Structure 1
Amino acid sequence: MGRAPGLSVRLKLTFSYAGFLMLASVLLLAVVLVFLLRYVPDSPVRPPGARLDLPGPDRTDLWRAFAPKAGAALVFLLVFGLVGGWLLAGRMLAPLTRITDATRRAAAGSLSHRIGLPGRADEFRELADSFDAMLARLEAHVAEQRRFAANASHELRTPLATTRTLLDVARDDPDRDSGELVERLRAVNARAIELTEALLLLSRTDQRSFTPERVDLSLIAEEAAETLLPLAEERGVAIGTSGDVATAVGSPALLLQMVTNLLHNAIVHNLPEHGTVRVDTAAGPRSVVLTVENTGARLAPRLVPTLTEPFQRGAARVRGDHAGVGLGLAIVASIARAHDGALTLTPRDGGGLRVTVRLPAAPPCPAGGGHRSGHVMGKSK
């Protein structure tokens, strides 16, 4: 954005300091002059016994004696104010120069630079600390986006490469059973579509493009459990739901997707047999809480924080019929952020994972409130 050239802030402050000093000096000299004029008569007065040829002092004599010295003092104070104001302004604006330099580096793409302004807290240091914090968040966000782009490229390249290999095999071997080839191509294509839809959903949740509504998380949890009941029965996992009516404000579709992803992960990453999944909802005065616990393998504490990163699948990148695309918890975290909530992952002592989603509670409704009894929706085989 082009702007017309103007005076620098340092020069403006210098003129301000000098102008204030000159105004204060003029007022002080005026007060001194008025004080002196009170004791000097308008016309000469000869004291008793004085010589007739030596008239007494009057106000004209005072003006002649006072004006040159006052003018010299004002000139000295003007020069002193300009020089002193220039030095003081430079000292005061030195932190702003460092902040400007850091801003230009950030605009040029260097997000690793920090201002690191020393000294005690004041306005400039608060600005510098806020800018450093913003740079840290931007650097982390850019790094996360780069990792996400690299992982997404890798994930999308895998089904495409598999498809090309299958087509090459079919071209080189015309007598090969086409039915088997079609089924494998269909499975690979379905996986690519699933990954693309997950990426689009993740992008939409980051933009918060939804109309907020009142949503009962307990009903959402029951709906997701009923949807995934066949998968749970196939894997021998029992799903139990319980808790209070927990009403939040948000998108019913996105919150259903969030709970579905949590339950799907809890079912897939579970014990080989006789596994359990527990879903609880709780309501507080300011927030509602959804908790999903499952049995499973023991998880290292250092591994748990990485599970919300895109394309992470637990301890290893395991493939399977229901392994997913590695975006389940990443989408959950994004949906929670889009609803001003928080996602917490905690490894269970006996193995498995406890996932807690805390969302702001909806405003109280006269017809709301209640408790839902728990029940088991799937039984172990």
Structure 2
Amino acid sequence: MSEPAPERAPGLSVRIKLTLSYAGFLMVAGALLLAVVWVFLLRGRSDGLRVPDLSDFLRALNPTNFGPSVFVPAAVMVLGVLLVFGLVGGWVLAGRMLAPLTRITAGTRRVADGSLSHRIHLEGRKDEFRELADAFDAMLARIEANVAEQQRFAANASHELRTPLAVTQTMLDVARNDADRDPRELIDRLRLVNDRAIDLTEALLVLSRADQRSFTREPVDLSLVVEEAAETLLPLAEKHGVTIETAGDVTPTVGSHALLLQMTANLVHNAIVHNLRTHGMVQISVAGDDEHVVLTVENSGEKLPERLVSTLAEPFQRGTRRIRTDHAGVGLGLAIVKSIAAAHDGSLGLNPRAGGGLVVTVRLPAAHPLTDR
């Protein structure tokens, strides 16, 4: 989870700071220049505030006054002082102005070396550099969270994929040591284990496809997707004694029909298998407005604690306290739903149902006829 950017008091922008700094520097340089003009051209005149003319410059070169032997070395010396002052002043000002950028660069190098936990935490009031540092910190926090999530997912996936292979090896070892064992029983059990491994692999492929957003977007009526998913899973609902009710009008959105169907089918499947043992119900509704379309899947069942509900969308979380254990899937159903919703710029909401069971809400952007054609 990315940490929020710190609250900062409003401050001057870097552009304004640089402008004021260089303007002030030029004011100082101009003051020195005017002082030089006064010393060499205006000093000793009764009307010293009048703009100097050619006679003043000639007077400055008059040997009886200052003379070239005095003026030229003095001018060179003054220019040298101005040059040194400009270089030193510009170096100091640029260093002060670019100090935050130096910290950001150092932080970037540390991240390039693999330190995702590093944060810049730039102090001071809000300006362009502080906004850049805050955005960089927020990006690092998101990357660190995503990497940690991917590592957990890889570890869980490896464990889940290893399980059917280990079970298969065990059954084969038992069959090899027991020549009198009925091979048909072994074949049936091996088929079940193999089917589970195939289901898990296909679920991982769907999840990866959704995460990468590698699909073509097209207009989709979510109400038709709901009808298709409900009709497909009706035999499973009848087997479990669960009734399915659908409601809603046309709800156009934009996305992949196949992925949205997979998302809806996962929700309906979960609602069927995690339900009451008898007389269970599943209610599916779709609604929409100018901005969003909302898919709601509600099912009966035992009361679920908030803490359990908040973890159900994590990969390989099967909700061990939910009723049914058959057809429980591979623990990726709601994780796939969450990824598909996110890939369609939507969101997933999970809430325990007051009378027991679960209420799942998926919110997706609505299709705009003039812009989404």
TM category, shorter: 0.7 to 0.9
1:38 equivalent to 2:53? Answer yes
Which consecutive residues of structure 2, in runs of 5 or more, have no partner in the other structure?
1-17, 43-49
Residue 363 of structure 1: CA displacement? 1.7
Residue 27 of structure 1: CA displacement? 10
Deviations 1:182-223, CA, capped at 9 Å, x for gaps = 000000000000000110111111121221111111111011
What is the distance in 2 between the residues matched to 1:258 and 1:66?
87
Q: How big is the alpha-carbon RMSD for the aligned residues of Structure 1 and Structure 2? A: 2.9
Between 155-164 and 102-111, the greater mean CA deviation after superposition: 102-111
- 2:346 partner amino acid: G
Contact 1:22–1:77 (CA under 8 A) maintained in structure 2: no
1:101 equivalent to 2:106? Answer yes
Equivalences for residues 1-381 of structure 1 within 5 A: 21=26, 25=30, 28=33, 37-38=52-53, 40=55, 57=59, 60=62, 61=65, 64=68, 66-315=71-320, 320-364=325-369
Residue 350 of structure 1: CA displacement? 2.0
Deviations 1:310-346, CA, capped at 9 Å, x for gaps = 1111145998431100011111111111111111112
How many pairs align? 337
Deviations 1:141-181, CA, capped at 9 Å, x for gaps = 00100100010011001100000010001000011011111
Contact 2:275–2:324 (CA under 8 A) maintained in structure 1: no
What is the distance in 2 between the residues matched to 1:347 and 1:171?
49
Between 23-32 and 274-283, the greater mean CA deviation after superposition: 23-32
What is the distance in 2 between the residues matched to 1:109 and 1:233?
54
**SS of structure 2 residue aligned to 1:289:** strand
**SS of structure 2 residue aligned to 1:276:** strand
What is the distance in 2 between the residues matched to 1:210 and 1:42?
79
Deviations 1:41-62, CA, capped at 9 Å, x for gaps = 688xxxxxxxxxxxxx576446
Q: What TM-score do you get using the length of structure 1 for normalisation? A: 0.81
Deviations 1:265-293, CA, capped at 9 Å, x for gaps = 11111122221111111111111111111
What is the distance in 2 between the residues matched to 1:204 and 1:316?
30
Quickly say closer, same or farther: Cα 1:201–1:171, change in 2 above 3 A. same
Quickly say closer, same or farther: Cα 1:237–1:37, change in 2 above 3 A. same
Residue 304 of structure 1: CA displacement? 2.1
Residue 81 of structure 1: CA displacement? 2.1
What is the distance in 2 between the residues matched to 1:68 and 1:255?
84
**SS of structure 2 residue aligned to 1:95:** helix
Contact 2:29–2:82 (CA under 8 A) maintained in structure 1: no
Identical positions, percent: 69
Deviations 1:49-107, CA, capped at 9 Å, x for gaps = xxxxxxxx576446746544443332222222222222222222222222122212211
Contact 1:346–1:353 (CA under 8 A) maintained in structure 2: yes
Contact 1:216–1:248 (CA under 8 A) maintained in structure 2: yes
Quickly say closer, same or farther: Cα 1:317–1:81, change in 2 above 3 A. farther
